Amino acid sequence: MSVKSKVLFPDSLYAKDPARWRFALLRDAVGFVVFWILACWLPFPWSLLAGVLCGGAIAALFVLGHDAAHGTYSTDAHRNARVAQLLLLPSLTPVPLWKLGHNRIHHGLTGLPADWIWHPASPADYKNMNPVERGWYRVCRSPWGFWLYYTVEVWWRGMAWYSIRNREHRNGWIPVLLFLVAWFWLSAMVGGLSGVATGLVLPLLVFQETIGFVVFVNHTHPRVGFHASRTGWNAAEVQLRDSTTYKSRFFGFWLHNILYHVPHHVDTRIPWFALPEALDILAQAFPHLIIERESPVRSAFRYARACFLYDFDRKLWIPRSPSQWRTPERPPEGNPV
């Protein structure tokens, strides 16, 4: 049974709300500009605090841009694309590549090898790695290394290097590079080299750690499974089965409900502000959804230890210290949660 044949969301859930969007855009854009100025201008250590808050504003803008790229801002596709590009600029994200990697591959092939972000290695894969590769894998699957994973694997290899090798995707970088040059120049004008460090580099690092963390907890859990091939893979079921939801008021307010990830995967047309209501509807129809009420930060540390390698044949997670096999508490295959 498909998800949408069993659960019919009301039309009100898809309604555009310009007032909510304007408030969210204004809040995050003003936060980005104000904290950037303070990060460049204030003396140490206050400049560090401002830089961290600036990075938090970039992450919030990124989530809104991600939502606009899914078409939830307006009924006009061109307007959605323009808003998405504007909001994704501070994170140095080109919209065409984001749509390719996220909208088409991640949401279309969730849990398959093509959806490679945070796709775990098997015991055989890990055994065949050289010492450097093993060290890199261990660092990246640690909460302290989320920023490295996002920067190197997602941003550099998945977007920048991909564009270098594929000419048709290079134009998407033009607005990103222009924004970066202007950001660097203004930061240097306001605060010199220290302004560049605290007003540009630090905010980007905070953003990269935040988004790396978000994607990790959204798709890493003892009950989340992965697939080595399309055998046993069902496009509708994995949207319910293989993503999580964290009911955190703090993260919901800061990052526009991005951790309400199950309803987002079920239907990406649902705007960010309607995701909690969509979750309530889904939870009534599918009582075994992965809904966590503990801190997602605590879960990130816990599941980074518990979910290190994955046996795709036996559907088993292997912890970082593999003294025992961990069996995911998953519903039977073929039954959509």
One pLDDT digit (tens) per residue for the chain, 337 residues: 345 535 578 999 999 999 999 999 999 999 999 999 999 999 999 999 999 999 999 999 999 999 999 999 999 999 999 999 999 999 999 998 888 888 888 888 888 888 888 999 999 999 999 999 999 999 999 999 999 999 999 999 988 888 888 777 788 899 999 999 999 999 999 999 999 999 999 999 999 999 999 999 999 999 999 998 888 888 888 888 888 999 999 999 999 999 999 999 999 999 999 999 999 999 998 888 888 888 999 999 999 999 999 999 988 899 988 554 444 445 445 444 4
Residue 328 belongs to some domain of the structure: no
Give the pLDDT of residue 2. Answer: 45
Domain that holds residue 137: 3-318
Give the pLDDT of residue 322. Answer: 55
Residue 61 belongs to some domain of the structure: yes
Give the pLDDT of residue 323. Answer: 55
Gap between the Cα atoms of 192 and 331, Å rounded? 57
Which amino acid would we find at residue 266? V
Half-sphere exposure (CA, 13 Å, Cβ side) for 287? 0
Residue 58 belongs to some domain of the structure: yes
Gap between the Cα atoms of 62 and 69, Å rounded? 10
Residue 327 belongs to some domain of the structure: no
Residue 256 belongs to some domain of the structure: yes
Residue 151 belongs to some domain of the structure: yes
Task: Say if pTM beats, i.e. exceeds, 0.95.
Answer: no
Residue 334 belongs to some domain of the structure: no
Residue 224: helix, strand or coil by DSSP?
coil
Q: What is the DSSP string of 23-69?
A: HHHHHHHHHHHHHHHHHHHSPTTHHHHHHHHHHHHHHHHHHHHHHHH
Count: domains in the chain: 1
Residue 155 belongs to some domain of the structure: yes
Do 175 and 85 meet the contact criterion of CB atoms below 8 Å apart? Answer: yes
Give the pLDDT of residue 327. Answer: 47
Packing angle, helices 202-219 and 46-69, rounded to 10: 50
